Structure 1
């Protein structure tokens, strides 16, 4: 059991939050860098602080950083000071928000699942 006695007054701790709803209002998103969470954060134009844990997450974190839509952090380097500094950088430098918004716009313009299924069906019919 964790000790929750030192949680700052401006924090809300919940067992579950509706991530897509929250991301529409978030200024920064700290994430493990899974493809779904990363895509959802960028879809809503939210700059990311990516803390990869396993699998494809380190590659995703690097790419987010390369695109300047967020900052990649090392799991072993985490500290309250680093998390605060990262949030401050993402909030102070508008280029992160602009890049996240541009990527989000490209996601929305791509057409989503219905467009993907159209492309797959067209490819399938063309190859028969």
Structure 2
């Protein structure tokens, strides 16, 4: 599935909370329903929830009803979309990988 293309049109994104998927969803201003499975994903889910760009769910409590209710909540409160858009704008303004490389090279040359 072409995730980046889909995210440009999605109203809600259910994700495991990996950094790539989370960043991609937020980049496009899509509110997240994060279902962490392992590693850093619980921390990412908590942070998305703290920032009000989405909701964190417990994998052990999932049900069709909970998934539907989560989607309805994310759609019913525009603040989730607004927060996701604010974060996405900050990602785009940061300059991406090329800006990161530029900053690293500047730091490296300054420390030599």
Partner of 2:78: 94
Q: Which has the higher contact order (CA 8 A, sep 6+)?
A: 2
Of residues 16, 19, 44, the one that matches 1:35 is 19
> So what's the TM-score if we normalise by structure 1?
0.87
Aligned residue in 2 for 1:50 = 34
How many Å separate the matches in 2 of 1:27 and 1:81?
18
In the TM superposition, what whole-angstrom CA distance separates every residue of 1:12-56 from its partner, at most 9, and x where no partner exists? xxxxx1000000000000000000000000000000000000000
Give the structure-2-normalised TM-score: 1.00
Corresponding residue pairs, total: 112
Q: Alpha carbon RMSD of aligned pairs, Å?
A: 0.3
Mapping for residues 1-128 of structure 1, pairs under 5 Å: 17-128=1-112
Matches of 1:62 and 1:28 in 2, distance apart?
A: 17
Report the Cα distance in structure 2 between the residues aligned to 1:50 and 1:113, rounded to whole angstroms. Answer: 25
SS of the aligned residue for 1:45 comes to coil
Give ranges in structure 2 of 5+ residues lacking alignment.
none
Q: Which structure is higher in helix share? A: 2
